[in-house]
A and B are shown apart, each in its own frame.
Chain A
Amino acid sequence: GDSVTQMEGPVTLSEEAFLTINCTYTATGYPSLFWYVQYPGEGLQLLLKATKADDKGSNKGFEATYRKETTSFHLEKGSVQVSDSAVYFCALNPWGAAGNKLTFGGGTRVLVKP
């Protein structure tokens, strides 16, 4: 079945450092790919998405490119802030799925220190 694998955390960074969170997936066809963020005590929020190969999703300084050849959707940000401390989830919606049936990775906790 479909699955999403993320790098394990926690990832600890200093403010203004470069952030990369690796995400790879297993699925048939061309799933849609998402990054969600969960701040402490809150629900998940959609950060960005890409619906076809080579698409780049971007939001709030974060970017991720849909790489079909490597089945990857790595999340990057050039200069993190303390406010970026959160848990980040990579997810996919299967190709041709009726409705939005998300399969999530295990999450990566990011801690940014001042």
Chain B
Amino acid sequence: EAEVAQSPRYKITEKSQAVAFWCDPISGHATLYWYRQILGQGPELLVQFQDESVVDDSQLPKDRFSAERLKGVDSTLKIQPAELGDSAMYLCASSLAGDEQYFGPGTRLTVT
């Protein structure tokens, strides 16, 4: 069964450092999402891509966060510099034309 892949699964970094997460969606899924899930809360959408274009990044803190999906396939989410409040689970999801979203296992980030 096809799955959304994410790496790394866990990341510990010091504040002010740069950190990057990678996501490989299910083959053929044009829509890709990045969510942030703070412990004990529901996921919040950070950015949505349709192919290589950003559809919605209204909740992305653009002063420190960036996301790209250069070839419309895999995607990278970067934080620079990381802050203590960025500690969270970062989830990637993909879907076919706005249908059901399939989630990856997530990257758990701890900023010290």
Stretch of A13-21, A42-50, A68-76 with 4 or more beta carbons under 8 angstroms from chain B: A42-50
Report the bound CA distance from A49 to B99 in whole Å. 11
Cβ contact within 8 Å between A106 and B41: yes
A100 at the interface (CB under 8 A from B): yes
Q: Give min CB distance, A17 to chain B, whole Å.
A: 24
Report the bound CA distance from A104 to B41 in whole Å. 9
Cβ contact within 8 Å between A44 and B103: yes
Query: Interface size bucket, B side?
Result: 20 to 34
Cβ contact within 8 Å between B98 and A100: yes
A64 at the interface (CB under 8 A from B): no
Cβ contact within 8 Å between B56 and A44: no
Checking A4, A100, A106, A107 against B101 with a beta-carbon cut-off of 8 angstroms, the contacting residue is A100
Binary CB contact string for chain B from 93 to 112 against chain A (1 if under 8 A, 0 otherwise): 10100111101111000000
Q: Give min CB distance, B11 to chain A, whole Å.
A: 16
Stretch of B42-50, B68-76, B78-86 with 4 or more beta carbons under 8 angstroms from chain A: B42-50
Residues of A contacting B100 with CB < 8 Å?
A: 46, 49, 100
B4 at the interface (CB under 8 A from A): yes
Nearest-neighbor residue (CB-CB) of B92 within chain A: A43
Cβ contact within 8 Å between B40 and A99: no
B26 at the interface (CB under 8 A from A): no
Cβ contact within 8 Å between B48 and A44: no
Contacts A91-B42, A100-B95; is A43 near B48 (CB within 8 Å)?
no
* Pairs of residues from A and B, 6 with the lowest C-beta to C-beta distance, nearest first: A104-B42, A43-B103, A44-B103, A99-B98, A100-B98, A43-B105
- On A, residues with C-beta under 8 Å from B are 4, 36, 41-46, 49, 89, 91, 98-102, 104-107
